[in-house]
Every structure is written in structure tokens, then in C-alpha cells.
A and B are shown apart, each in its own frame.
Chain A
């Protein structure tokens, strides 16, 4: 069975400071991992994905994530937060190697950016 845990339900940062969103996963085999962002009243947008290539993954808007197998983690970071980063972020694991489309979502982390 696979699952994903986002360790923080809310994160508050000041504009220009680093952002860290934590995600741990459990998987019986090598997972595919994703980070998505959801702005208010919008759909989900892919930030980045890990699929067993490089462990450090760069995404859009300056975000990156590092896959650490030993720690079963896939934390999302950004060096300098912008006001437009205020949104909800989801860590997602793909549930099956032989069947796409059954994503397991974390509970989400709400990011607040203060001026």
C-alpha cells in the first residue's frame, strides 16, 4: 500500500524568506511523486515530479524538491517566497506501477505569505 503524509497543515512565511513544505511517503516499491499547487477557486497545477531519475527535481516558479529514499521524504522548497505563492500545496504519490490515474493525495499544506 502507498500513502503520503504532509507534516504541516499550515505554513506562514514572510515574503522573500525560504519556504519548506514537508512530505513523507510510504511505498512498497519505487514511487512516482508529484507536488501540485491549488490557488483559490482554481484547479490543480503541477509544480514538479519525481520518477526515479535525478533525486533533486526542479519545477516551475523556482520550486524544487529532493527525493530521499532513506528518509522516505519528498520535501518541497523555494529559496524566496513571493506573495503569489500563497495557495494550497499537495504532495501526491502514484498508487500503482501498472495503472495510472489512481493518485493518493496528501492532506495539503496551506501557505500564507505575509508582506
Chain B
């Protein structure tokens, strides 16, 4: 069974640009969540999608958005990039439910210059 796939693995963007990251969950998993990992802030929750609807949202500005498609694949978009957006972005998928664990992808390393 294939794991969670994130593309691309690495990205370099310029301040002010926008970026789209992609996540393909494990087959059968309908919940996808996104996390930002930085050395200073650690791992922070961005948002979760289930059945194409955003179910939870973290404390990030509106420049961070996402969506989920009918096949459960998800994209995350960051507009007007800032230097502070440089981070490892991790996607996780699950079957959803209390106590169910998340399965993480290897992440997309975004560098904003």
C-alpha cells in the first residue's frame, strides 16, 4: 500500500510569489491535514480537510489556504510569500475518528528568498 505522497519535495520561491503544494493520501483515507514545521515554532497545525470540506483550521493568516478534491487529494496554497514561510510542510492522512493516528508524508521543503 502506497504511503502519503507529497510533491514537490523541494521548492525555492521569491518573496511575493505564491506556491501550491500537493498531497496524495493513502488509498481509502478521506481526511487530510497539513502542518508547518520550523525550527523556531516547531510543528503547527494548518488545517484539516474531510470530504472536500475544511473541518479545522489553525492560527495562520488567510494567505494560507487549501482544498481537497473528490479523490481525497489535497492542495495547499500560500500567496504573497514571506521569508518566514520558509519551512517543511507536512501532510498527513487518516481514516478519521477519535484516537486514529495520522500517517505523514515526507514533506515539502519550501525556501523563500
- B43/A43 in contact, CB under 8 A: no
How far is it, in angstroms, between the C-alpha of A106 and the C-alpha of B90 when the chains are bound? Answer: 16
Neighbouring B residues of A105 by C-beta, 8 Å: 35, 42-44
Q: What is the total of A-B residue contacts with beta carbons within 8 Å? A: 72
* Interface residues as binary, A66-93 with B (CB distance below 8 Å gives 1, 0 otherwise): 0000000000000000000000001000
- B96/A100 in contact, CB under 8 A: yes
- A100/B31 in contact, CB under 8 A: yes
**B-side binding surface: helix, strand, loop or mixed?**
strand
How far is it, in angstroms, between the C-alpha of A96 and the C-alpha of B105 when the chains are bound? Answer: 23
Across the interface, A45 reaches (CB within 8 A) one of B35, B96, B104, namely B104
How far is it, in angstroms, between the C-alpha of A98 and the C-alpha of B90 when the chains are bound? Answer: 23
- A94/B45 in contact, CB under 8 A: no
Which candidate, B12-20, B48-56, B78-86, is the interface stretch facing chain A?
B48-56
Q: Give the total of B residues in contact with A, Cβ under 8 Å.
A: 28
Neighbouring B residues of A97 by C-beta, 8 Å: 98
Q: Does B24 interact with chain A (Cβ within 8 Å)?
A: no
* Interface residues as binary, B2-21 with A (CB distance below 8 Å gives 1, 0 otherwise): 00100000000000000000
- B106/A43 in contact, CB under 8 A: yes
Q: Which of A46, A52, A100 lies at the interface centre, i.e. has the most chain B CB atoms within 10 A of its CB? A: A100
- A99/B56 in contact, CB under 8 A: yes
Across the interface, B58 reaches (CB within 8 A) one of A34, A46, A102, namely A102
Nearest B residue to A32, CB-CB = B99
Interface residues of A in 94-113 (CB under 8 A from B): 94-108
Neighbouring A residues of B100 by C-beta, 8 Å: 100
- A102/B98 in contact, CB under 8 A: no
How far is it, in angstroms, between the C-alpha of A36 and the C-alpha of B103 when the chains are bound? Answer: 10
Across the interface, A43 reaches (CB within 8 A) one of B48, B58, B90, namely B90
Q: Tell whether A101 pairs with B31 under 8 Å between CB atoms, given A90-B43, A107-B42, A108-B42.
A: yes
**Extra A-B contacts (12), CB below 8 Å, given A44-B104, A100-B96:** A43-B4, A43-B104, A43-B106, A44-B102, A99-B48, A99-B55, A100-B97, A101-B31, A101-B56, A103-B35, A104-B45, A105-B44
